[in-house]
Structure 1
Amino acid sequence: MPRTLYDKLVDSHTVLRLDEEHVLLYADLHIMNEYTSPQAFAGLRERRAPVRRPWQNVAVVDHIIPTHPLKHRVILDEASALQASNLARNCELHGIALFDTNDPLQGIEHVIAPELGMIRPGMVVLCGDSHTTTYGAFGALGFGIGTSEVEHVLATQTLVHRVAKNMRIRVDGRLAVGCTAKDLVLQIIASIGAQGARGFVVEFVGEGISSLSVEARMTLCNMAVEAGARSAVIAPDEVTIDYVSARAHDMKRHLPRAIEQWRTLRSDDDARFDAEFQFDAGNIGPRVTWGTSPDQSISIDERVPDPDKAKTPQQRDAADRALRYIGLESGASLEGLAIDRVFIGSCTNARIEDLREVAKVVRGRKVDPRVRAMVVPGSGAVRDQAEAEGIAAALIAAGFEWRQPGCSMCLAMNDDVLRPGERCASTTNRNFEGRQGRAGRTHLMSPAMAAAAAITGCITDVRKLEQARD
């Protein structure tokens, strides 16, 4: 029977078929953080069970860590410090590698795992974080799991997995100047809806995908979960192979055979998909969210939609509530809307390519004096590289705060938070009510668009700044 890439990944990792809908799935790699693992380790202690394969588990402190630009970081919040110390103790007890608070390679879990060569095509990667879908950029199957499932994976290196349906999203053409993978994924989510891919694993295909860098593909797969997708995958190509080969230092002897196998990881030509969508990358402009869900976005040259024109009463009520929270009216333009904060970071957009785009916009310019703007690199390695390339110096000269790596203001689990009523141009993945701080207002956009907002003090079409420079 013809198989999709997702089907093949599941087939190759199925330990046991449990029934028509469920399989026992083997995990090549399990990644943990400090806030979804404590209960799992406690469960192991109660059962007096060991970690089955500690060498296939890795842990990162990233969500609760402060990002102040200090060489030696100390977690002052007592509850957060306890989470970090518990993780360190559990990792030491079970022999699990840990990237702790002051490890030079510490960073956001979904940034450091790829950059350190942990993610390879064909793997199954699990993590107690919904944005584990990021790893689909490599032709790997990655998805988030709950705390009870974390315990099961630690004890068995397997997971009971409900097999998903297959969705294919074709993207033709290429993105125009000033547009990025962030704009593309915001367009896709707005088109199919926040639950449009619920119950599916999405495979992205087409010229619009193959023309993207690996880091851009990570942004795309990272946010597929915001359309409800269980996971997302992109068939590995030479771009993928070059990226992984440069980082998978432990497999040099086996690399030729591995590459040969990676090239087979693709859907069969006549594989059946349960749902399909098609987009033209050339028709996509810079996008910004207007509401409190990632599917509530418009192009920068469009107007905030009228809730009364929503397709369902539920969508109308959601749009009404979103506009009240965000402080906007239907028919308004987002361009020119004043902002108070700019946050550039997160597992979606804190890689070196993202920071290069930001530096292009801000070089020779200054952050608006009314705006507090911060850049939080995704890892210690990204921070070092940005400093070596002169990116950090350009950001600091423009007036940005240059921080230490971590999740930071993405989810307000640390001391980087919005104050009530503050409006933020953000490169994160979610704009839910209170996500970045109680009563804070978040507008999702690309790093280049966030940089433009920092310079002008308002939401701005970055293409106009680029034209002004030309």
Structure 2
Amino acid sequence: MPRTLFDKLWDAHVVRELGDGWALLHIDRHLLHDLSGPPALAEVAARGLPLHDPALVFATPDHAASSQPGRLPGTFPLGGRLHGALAKLSADAGVRFYDLGQPGQGIVHVMGPELGIVLPGLTVICGDSHTCTNGGLGALAFGVGSSESTHALATQTLRQQKPKRMRIRCDGMLGAGVTAKDLALHIIGKLGAAAGVGYAIEFAGEAVRALDVESRLTLCNLTVELGARFGLIAPDARTVEWVRGRNFAPAGAAFDEAAAHWLSLASDADAVFDREEAIDATAIAPTITWGTSPEDAIAIDGTVPDPATASDDASRGAIEAALDYMGLAPRTAIAGTPVDWVFIGSCANSRLPDLRAAAEVARGRRVAAGVTAWVVPGSENVKRAAEAEGLREVFEAAGFQWREPGCSMCVAANGEQVPPQARCVSTSNRNFVGRQGPGARTHLASPAMAAAAAVTGRITDVRTLA
């Protein structure tokens, strides 16, 4: 029977069928960070249970770690306490711990793929909804709650209900200045933030195949903003070469054998999906959000919506509330909106190609007066590689702050916040009310678009700076 990529991954990990669509799955990799890791490890210890396989568990501080240059674990006091708990509990349980300043430390969804901890064909979990990022490598990756994390630590399994399958085919090629982030925001804006509820989503088509692996990770990162737990892209030759030589990847003949298996995971030509969507990639412009949900996305040459045109009272009220919070007027052009802050970072867009793209815009320019602009690499390895290429010097010469790796201002769990009513163009993945701090006004965009806003002082079509 023809199978989708998701079906092949699911079937390969079923330990036992439980009926009514439920199955017990084997978990191949378990990532822990400083917010969700300590409670799960502490619960296992409190029950007197050993970890089923500590070699498959990896921990690093990211969410609550300060990004301040020269930071220490206690630079942000709460972060210091969480760091200490994760370090101690990891040591007690025999879990690998990648500490601040060490190669390997970083945002879990950045360091996992870059170290080869995450590989095509594996099941990967973490107590974080953006674990779907790792599907960009062809892994079955999904976020879990604290009780599920505890169960997996003790048993290396999880009980899951199989979702329906959706394929989003992106036809044609993205234009100049248009990135995977723009593609993701465009899809969410078109289909809506609830379109993926109950589905595992596979991204396919010419535009997706043309993406580099880091861009595929960005696209899958925003799957959860469509309402889906799983986002997937089939492994191909580009994936295989990207994985080759990474710390935890197989080597020699074992790698060749693994690569052959990875390439066999693509959906069969006649596989049937429960839902199909088609996106014209050639029609996508650089995209930015205007409101308080990732689905509030418009092209850079678009205008802020008018509540009066809403189809129902609920939609009208939602638009009015979003405009009020964001301090925007209906029917106005989004381009030209003044900005106060720019944040380049997060598990969506903090990898080396992201920083290169932003640096190209920043090179030879200066951050506009009155704008505070931060660059936060996604991992210690990304930071060191960027510095070796001279990107730090480019950013600092332009007036950006070069920070230490971590989640930073994406979620503001480390005390780093956008001030109330300040407007921030951010490369992160969520623009909810208060996400970057109480009253903070967040516009989601690509790294190049964020850098363009930083140097012009307003939301700007990056293509005009070429």
Specify if TM > 0.5.
yes
Give unpaired runs (5+ residues) of structure 2: none
Structure 1 residue 314: Cα displacement: 2.6
State the identity %.
48
The answer for the alignment partner of 2:74 in structure 1 is 75
Q: Which residue of 1 aligns with 2:258?
A: 258
1:267 & 1:148 partners in 2: Cα distance?
32
1: CA distance, partners of 2:45 / 2:404:
34
Matched ranges for 1:25-44 at <5 A: 25-44=25-44
Q: Which residue of 2 aligns with 1:346?
A: 346
Q: 5 Å matches for 1:430-469?
A: 430-466=430-466
State the SS of the aligned residue for 2:79. helix
- Residue 249 of structure 1, CA deviation: 5.6
In 2, distance between residues paired with 1:346 and 1:106?
14
1:254-284 Cα offsets, whole Å, 9 max, x none, are 0111111111001112211111110111100
Task: Give 2:280's aligned residue.
Answer: 280
Q: Could you report, residue by residue, the CA deviation over 1:109-155 in whole angstroms, capped at 9, with x for unpaired residues?
A: 11111111111111110000011101111111101000111100101
Residue 18 of structure 1 aligns to a residue in which SS?
A: strand
SS at match of 2:175: coil
Q: Which amino acid aligns with 1:32?
A: L
Partner residue, 2:300? 300
Q: Counterpart in 2 of 1:188?
A: 187
CA distance, structure 1, for counterparts of residue 272 and residue 323 of structure 2 = 40
Q: What amino acid sits opposite 2:117 in the alignment?
A: M
Q: In 2, distance between residues paired with 1:245 and 1:102? A: 25
1:197-252, CA deviations, whole angstroms, 9 ceiling, x for partnerless residues? 11100001110100000000000000011010121111111100100113256511
**Contact in 1 for aligned 2:73/2:79 (Cα 8 Å):** no
Q: Show the counterpart of 1:290.
A: 290
Provide the residue aligned with 1:60 in structure 2.
60
AA paired with 2:20? Answer: E
Equivalent residue number for residue 205 of structure 1: 204
Give the distance between the partners of 1:22 and 1:333, measured in 2 at CA: 48
One-letter amino acid of the structure 2 residue matched with residue 79 of structure 1: L
Amino acid at match of 1:358: A
Q: Distance in 1 between matches of 2:449 and 2:298?
A: 13
- Work out whether residues 167 and 274 of structure 1, in 8 Å CA contact, stay in contact via their aligned partners in 2: yes
- The equivalent of 2:223 in structure 1 is 224
Kindly indicate whether the alpha-carbon contact (under 8 Å) linking 1:133 and 1:221 is maintained by their aligned counterparts in 2. Answer: yes
Q: Which residue of 2 aligns with 1:159?
A: 158
Shift of 1:47: 1.8
- Partners of 2:104 and 2:256 in 1: how far apart? 28
Whether the 8 Å CA contact 2:101–2:380 is kept in 1: the answer is no
State how far apart, in whole Å, the 2-side matches of 1:378 and 1:77 are. Answer: 18
Runs of 4+ in 1 over 4 A off after TM superposition: none
Does the Cα contact within 8 Å between 1:73 and 1:102 map onto a contact in 2? no
Distance in 2 (CA, whole Å) between partners of 1:297 and 1:440 is 18
- Give the Å deviation of 1:445: 0.5
- Corresponding residue of 2:423: 423
Q: Distance in 1 between matches of 2:276 and 2:319?
A: 26
Amino acid at match of 1:235: A
Shift of residue 378, structure 1, vs aligned partner = 0.6
Deviation at 1:333, TM superposition (A): 1.0
Aligned length: 465
**Counterpart amino acid of residue 130 in structure 1:** S
Distance in 2 (CA, whole Å) between partners of 1:154 and 1:167 is: 30
**Displacement after TM superposition at 1:185 (Å):** 0.4
1:19-78 CA-partner distances (Å, limit 9, x unpaired): 1221111111000111112222232133211111100000110000011111x5232343
Matched, 1:86 2:85: yes
Deviation, 1:307, is 2.1
Contact 1:164 1:230 in 2 (8 A): no
In the aligned structure 2, how far is the partner of 1:381 from the partner of 1:230?
Answer: 28
* CA distance in structure 1 between the partners assigned to 2:298 and 2:149 by the alignment: 37
* 8 Å CA contact retained: 2:289, 2:443: yes
5 Å-filtered alignment, 1:41-190, equals 41-70=41-70, 73-190=72-189
Measured in 1, the distance between the counterparts of 2:180 and 2:255 equals 29
8 A contact 2:22–2:159 mirrored in 1:
yes
* Alignment partners' CA distance in 1, 2:314 and 2:17: 38
Secondary structure of the corresponding residue to residue 160 of structure 1: strand
Report the alpha carbon displacement of residue 379 of structure 1 after superposing the two structures with TM.
Answer: 0.8
Distance verdict in 2 for CA 1:436–1:138, change over 3 Å: same
The SS at the match of 2:19 is: coil
Alignment of 1:316 onto 2:296: no
Displacement of 1:297: 0.9
User: Do the aligned residues in 1 keep the contact of 2:66 with 2:76 (CA within 8 Å)?
Assistant: no
The 5-angstrom pairing of residues 323-334 of structure 1 reads 323-334=323-334
**What CA distance in whole angstroms lies between the structure 2 residues aligned with 1:17 and 1:40?**
26
Q: Which residue identity does 2:102 align to in structure 1?
A: D
Q: Which runs of 5+ in 1 are unaligned?
A: none
Paired letter, 1:9:
L
For each residue in 1:335-372, what CA deviation from the matched residue of structure 2 results, as whole angstroms up to 9, or x when unmatched? Answer: 11111000000000000000111111111111102101
* Aligned counterparts of 1:117 and 1:373: Cα–Cα separation in 2: 31
Contact 2:134 2:141 in 1 (8 A): yes
Rounded Cα–Cα distance in structure 1 between residues aligned with 2:214 and 2:314 = 36
**Cα distance in 1 between the residues matched to 2:317 and 2:25:** 40
Q: Is the 8 A contact 2:73 2:83 kept in 1?
A: no
Aligned CA distance change for structure 1 residues 248 and 237 (closer, same or farther; 3 Å)? farther
Distance in 1 (alpha carbons) for counterparts of 2:403 and 2:75 = 17
Q: Distance in 2 between matches of 1:179 and 1:319?
A: 26
Distance 2:268 2:39 in 1: 41
Amino acid at match of 2:153: L
Q: What RMSD in Å do the two structures reach over aligned CA positions?
A: 1.2
SS in 1 for 2:203: strand
Residue 197 of structure 2 aligns with an amino acid whose one-letter code is R
Residues 37, 59 of structure 2: 8 Å contact kept: no
* 1:93 match: secondary structure: helix
